[in-house]
Structure 1
Amino acid sequence: MKKYFLLALICLAYGSVYAQPNPDSLAYQNQRKIINDMLAARAAKFSQYDASLSKHTGIFGMQTKKDIRRSNDILMDIVSTDNNILQQTKVLLTLKNNQLDYRTFQQQSIQTKVKETEDNTIGFMTTINKLRNQNEKLKAQVQIAEKSESKMKFWLIILLILFIITSILLIAGKYRTIKA
């Protein structure tokens, strides 16, 4: 029992070493990393925007047109980053849907193969049962034929014996008539 357990453990260890990663899941992970990096950049830009709103470089602590333009530029950059994040999220969802579609395809193909195998097995079993029934019928016919053959041989022997006896009696009768 220990040998089988160790063999299974070794097979699993070698299998994990030589296992190929799924390229779709790698693309999915890379896409997630891109989106997370973009979200971190957006958070940094938002903190810059917040800082630019608090800057008041004008006279009497007022905001100048330059401060407002700088804040608007940062805000436009944030909007641009948000649009890129949405586009990358669509790509991520497409990858996820493709993975789900591929898994569904794999499951359907496996189910199809299982169904075909079951159908083949049932077909083979049906064929085997039909052949067994035919074999039993043929054996029964052979036994009936052998019985009828043995009966026919028996009656032929009886007829032959009767023919021989009748022939002997006729010959003996003719022999007596010739003698008399």
Structure 2
Amino acid sequence: MKKIILVALLCFLFANLFAQANSDSLAYQLQRKKINSMLAERSLKFGQYDKSLSEHSGIFGLQTKKDIRRSNDILMDIVKTDNDIYKQLKILLEYRTFQQSQVQDKSKETETNALGFMYTIKQLRDQVDQLKKLGDKNAELQNKASRNFIIIVIILLMIILMLLRNQIRAKEDKQR
């Protein structure tokens, strides 16, 4: 019965840990999707930058200041997007580290609980063994006491019978 309770408790703890891991991995997946969308946005911006470099609206097919400024603006926008991506990647990595430390903490806690339960079960088994030994000892003492009581009763009956016999002989001797 105790084993069943222990197994049920461990199953409950692992199910709880698994449910929490699923919710954590959902947030992790959302963060990854956000980073992937930012990377797709950066790719589009880089395509615009590449296109702006090939535009030459000046005389004799040269780039004008306006073309260069537009390319620089797009490039600055790419740099800002890259910085945002780095920030989000850092958050993702910190989140992953946090998840791993949480899993390790839960694992240690579960292991500690399991060891505590096993120690408690061992103590209870030892107590049961001690109580069995004490019960056996008490039963043996009670058996001895019962034997002694029966022996005393038999001895008393024999004494009473001897006394009655002696009285009967004494009456017979008086009557004769």
Q: By the TM > 0.5 criterion, same fold?
A: yes
One-letter amino acid matched to 1:151: I
Alpha-carbon distance between aligned partners in 2 of 1:91 and 1:78, rounded to the nearest angstrom: 20
Alpha-carbon distance, 1:140 to partner = 0.8
Query: Tell me, what secondary structure is at the counterpart of 1:48?
Result: helix
One-letter amino acid matched to 1:40: A
Alpha-carbon distance between aligned partners in 2 of 1:152 and 1:28, rounded to the nearest angstrom: 85
Aligned residue for 2:127? 127
Aligned residue for 1:42? 42
Alpha-carbon distance between aligned partners in 1 of 2:94 and 2:70, rounded to the nearest angstrom: 36
Query: Tell me, what secondary structure is at the counterpart of 1:115?
Result: helix
Aligned residue for 1:10? none
Alpha-carbon distance, 1:170 to partner = 5.8
One-letter amino acid matched to 1:88: Q
Alpha-carbon distance, 1:169 to partner = 5.5
Q: Deviations over 1:145-173 (max 9, x none)?
A: 12222222232233333434445556667
Aligned residue for 1:148? 148
Is 1:107 aligned to 2:90, yes or no? no
Alpha-carbon distance, 1:124 to partner = 2.6
Aligned residue for 1:77? 77
CA contact (8 A) 1:48 1:74 kept: yes
Q: Deviations over 1:121-158 (max 9, x none)?
A: 32332222112111111111111112222222232233
One-letter amino acid matched to 1:149: F
Over alpha carbons, which structure has the higher Rg?
1
Q: Deviations over 1:43-101 (max 9, x none)?
A: 11112222222333344444333332222211111110011101111222233334334
Matches within 5 A, 1:156-171: 156-168=156-168
Alpha-carbon distance between aligned partners in 1 of 2:28 and 2:93, rounded to the nearest angstrom: 9
Tell me the percent identity: 39
Residue segments in structure 1 that go unaligned for 5+ positions in a row: 1-18
Residue segments in structure 2 that go unaligned for 5+ positions in a row: 1-18
Aligned residue for 1:25? 25
Alpha-carbon distance between aligned partners in 2 of 1:37 and 1:172, rounded to the nearest angstrom: 127
Alpha-carbon distance between aligned partners in 1 of 2:141 and 2:77, rounded to the nearest angstrom: 94
CA contact (8 A) 1:24 1:95 kept: no
Is 1:63 aligned to 2:63, yes or no? yes
Alpha-carbon distance between aligned partners in 2 of 1:61 and 1:131, rounded to the nearest angstrom: 103
Q: Which moved more, 1:79-88 or 1:55-64?
A: 55-64
Alpha-carbon distance between aligned partners in 1 of 2:60 and 2:143, rounded to the nearest angstrom: 124
Query: Tell me, what secondary structure is at the counterpart of 1:124?
Result: helix
- Give the length in aligned residue pairs: 158
Alpha-carbon distance between aligned partners in 2 of 1:26 and 1:140, rounded to the nearest angstrom: 66
